[in-house]
Structure 1
Amino acid sequence: MKEIVAIVNAYDALDHATTRAALATVVRVEGSSYRRTGARMLIADNGRWVGGISGGCLEGDALKRARLAIAQTKPTLVTYDTTDDDAYQIGVGLGCNGIIDVLITPLDPNTTNPVHILKSCVEDSRQTHVLLTVTNAPGVLPQGEIIRYEGRDSLNGLGDEAAANQLAQTVEEHLAQQKSAPASVTMANGQTLEVFVEVMLPVPQLVLMGQQYDVYPLVRLINELGWQAVVVANPQKVSQAMFAEATSIVQPDAFQTIAFDAQTAIVLMAHDYKTDKYNLPKALATVAPFIGILGPRKRTDKIFAELTAEGLFTGETDRIHAPVGLDIGAASPEEIALSIVAEVRAVLSGREGMSLRLRNAPIHDHP
């Protein structure tokens, strides 16, 4: 989402009277590539761009193709095949070893275009959005058009009930798996409708229950990632810097007003035993899939025992990560922040957080 925010801000800053632009989107990947489907790059006809579709091997060529698409006011789908050993093939030098389809769409500022739709998603960032980018639909829909999927009725514009039903079923399967991937259906006229189904989850949100000095580097790291940091603390006990850096600061007695979802992690880091003990049942009452507790295991076990004796803890520990963070030998507040964020990312991604050299599968899941 951070890249999308940068693209939206850059597009809004353009002087559309003098500068035209296109949006390049990775819509299909086979094999290995530095960026995955959904990676985007805003390209202006003055040669400037924001975002990226690769590790640097495709951007130069994409710029040339974008200028041509802008001049022709026509979208184009470009396939980069870096599996060939030809030394002159774009991307081979960086060892991408994959096939990447990139859709380049000229942007008309006077009509609803893809960036406008992305902006609406950014403004509603705590919702899951499903976007269908048309990559091929002869005689049905313009190439590059984006459908904001909100249920089967979103596909009525296809004018083909059977194809719409089939596509809706496929989209719902991707949504259930929280996976973005290309999809295709055969229309009644025999033509093939091809779309890129993009599932945009809410950005990770960390709810930090504490106000000590180690909250600050954690908030800064969260900001760098483009995530959201909600600090639960007495506003009178945090510095002005925290007001500037945190997404929001919530009074402890207003904890229930926070919007919790499947992309929310809670970290108890008050450095006060009674406070963390008081906050744990409140955290467990939410739908947050990750609850971290800072401090030694012995301390947490004592909290569990006391809450159990008081009838406030049922023994649920699947969501609880204590001590919070990955075992990276962290010592400083900054390193501890890194270990916490890394564990949150691993859990929300359904990963183990181990060394990639030990993974007996591709780094990225393939559709």
Structure 2
Amino acid sequence: MTHEIKLLVETLKTWQQLGKKAVFVSVVDLEGSSYRRPGVRMLISENGEYVGALSGGCVESEIERQAQSVFKSGKAKVITYDGRLRIGCEGNIRILIEPVFLSEEFFVAFDQQLKIRKSFSMESWFYREVGEYSNIGSIVLLKGKKYALNSSFNTDDLENQLCFSQTFEPLFQLYIFGAEHDAVQLSQAAKLLGWQVVVVASPDESKSCDYFPGASSLISPSFDNIDTSAIDKQTAVVLMTHSFNKDVQYLLALKDIHPAYIGLLGSVNRRERIISMLLDYMPDISTDFIDQIYGPAGINVGAESAAEIAVSILAEILSVVRNQAPLSLREKLGSIHG
């Protein structure tokens, strides 16, 4: 979700620089089930452009129509959308539409929050009844300071409103160790998920970041100088160097980290040989570190090409991070997503 709110903030900044007015749209409540849950948000400009989505495309036209009154009056409103009658879903969603304009101070503070990889929160205050209101809206809390999306929203007068609160974790990031063609495919696929991708190439590589369209950066530290301080619980690590020695040296450099996921490319036999070499170099290495290695990396979906292998690896990362056993959705009872 953090990458989605990041995109909205970046888009809003651009629109404001161009002099475009915008409204901010949030799903704040749900009765039953729906395509997406509360916390989904989007932006709509005064000329009908929009970024983000609340559904697979069926709700957006209605929201755009409803937003016109917000552009005219400058007041936020609450609407509902009954998916049971219109799109075949089983839920009724409550949506907050509010005018939005953010200061340069907010944009600076938001960027800093992402860089230091600290969580932040957002609160949307609303009434259950459908209608237009003079004092409902959303606030973003950064380092203890409140930033209202709409300057006319009085955050000191919230006695009777309902609140939907959401916490945003640091951007999920993927560290790819290796700079071969399959790393390019994994980088591109991870970017589509909104992940921040860092490619780590050995010093003897001649690649640049331009070779990896999905990557935010490429670094080439020596094995003894790999900085692991940015690798946290919101990080997945995949080793795909196609070199036994390089994989072992990278694992030695990573031995003290505990990310969300560590994947090792290759066969079971290759994994066992690498772990054996790792133990030869460091017999007292933590068994907890070895146990967190997923190798061969990926879920069995019959992947053959580099692109398909990337999908397999990303699916496994998601299943580990979300603590979900891979399962065909037709076999799942209850809500199919989330």
Q: Fold-level match, TM-score > 0.5?
A: yes
Relative to structure 1, the CA distance from residue 343 to residue 26 in structure 2 (aligned partners, 3 Å threshold; closer, same or farther) is same
Summarize the Cα distance change of 1:118–1:60 in structure 2 as closer, same or farther, 3 Å threshold. Answer: farther
> Which SS does the other structure have where 1:342 is aligned?
helix
Which amino acid letter does the alignment assign opposite residue 175 of structure 2?
Answer: V
Identity %: 33
Q: Contact 1:25–1:38 at 8 Å: present in 2 too?
A: yes
Counterparts in 2 of 1:129 and 1:17: CA distance versus 1, 3 Å: closer
Q: Who is 1:217 aligned against?
A: 185
Kindly state the Cα deviation for residue 197 of structure 1 after the two structures are TM-superposed. Answer: 0.9
Deviation at 1:315, TM superposition (A): 2.5
- Alignment of 1:246 with 2:246, yes or no, is no
Return the offset for 1:345: 1.4
Q: What does residue 344 of structure 1 align with?
A: 317
Counterpart AA for 2:123: L
1:175-254 paired onto structure 2 within 5 Å: 191-234=159-202, 236-239=205-208, 241-242=210-211, 245-253=214-222, 254=225
In the alignment, the residues of structure 2 paired with residue 34 and residue 197 of structure 1 have an alpha-carbon distance, to the nearest angstrom, of: 20
In 2, the alpha carbon distance for the partners of 1:55 and 1:271 equals 39
Asked if residue 128 in structure 1 is aligned to residue 119 in structure 2, the reply is: yes
Deviation at 1:212, TM superposition (A): 1.7
**2:145 matches 1:145:** no
- AA partner of residue 269 (structure 1): M
Cα distance in structure 2, aligned partners of 1:323 and 1:243? 23
Q: After the TM superposition, which residues 1-367 of structure 1 pair with which residues of structure 2 at under 5 Å, given as runs?
A: 1-14=2-15, 19-83=20-84, 89=85, 92=86, 94-107=87-100, 109=101, 112=103, 120-121=109-110, 124-125=113-114, 126-136=117-127, 142-148=135-141, 150=143, 191-234=159-202, 236-239=205-208, 241-242=210-211, 245-253=214-222, 254-309=225-280, 310-316=282-288, 317-365=290-338
- Over the aligned positions, Cα root-mean-square deviation in angstroms equals 3.0
Mapped contact 2:232–2:259 kept (Cα < 8 A) = yes
- Shift in alpha-carbon separation, 1:200–1:343, aligned structure 2, 3 A: same
Deviation at 1:271, TM superposition (A): 0.7
Q: What is the Cα deviation at residue 244 of structure 1?
A: 5.4
Alignment check: 8 A CA contact 2:178 2:202 kept? no
Q: Output the CA distance in 2 between the equivalents of 1:241 and 1:263.
A: 25
What's the TM-score, normalizing by structure 2?
0.83
Name the residue aligned to 1:179.
none
Q: Which amino acid aligns with 1:313?
A: I
Q: TM-score, normalised by structure 1?
A: 0.77
Q: Deviations over 1:128-186 (max 9, x none)?
A: 2111222249xxx93103041656x97xx9779xxxxxxxxxxxxxxxxxxxxxxxxxx
2-side partners of 1:17 and 1:231: how far apart?
A: 34
Q: Label 1:259 to 1:100 Cα distance change in 2 as closer, same or farther (>3 A).
A: same
Question: Which deviates the most, 223-232 or 30-39?
Answer: 30-39
Structure 1: unaligned runs, 5 residues or longer: 84-88, 161-186
Q: How many pairs align?
A: 319
Q: Which runs of 5+ in 2 are unaligned?
A: 129-133, 147-153
Q: Conserved in 1, the CA contact under 8 Å of 2:126 and 2:162? A: yes
1:11 CA drift (Å): 2.3
* Matched position secondary structure for 2:35: coil
Q: Which amino acid aligns with 1:274?
A: N
SS in 2 for 1:214: helix
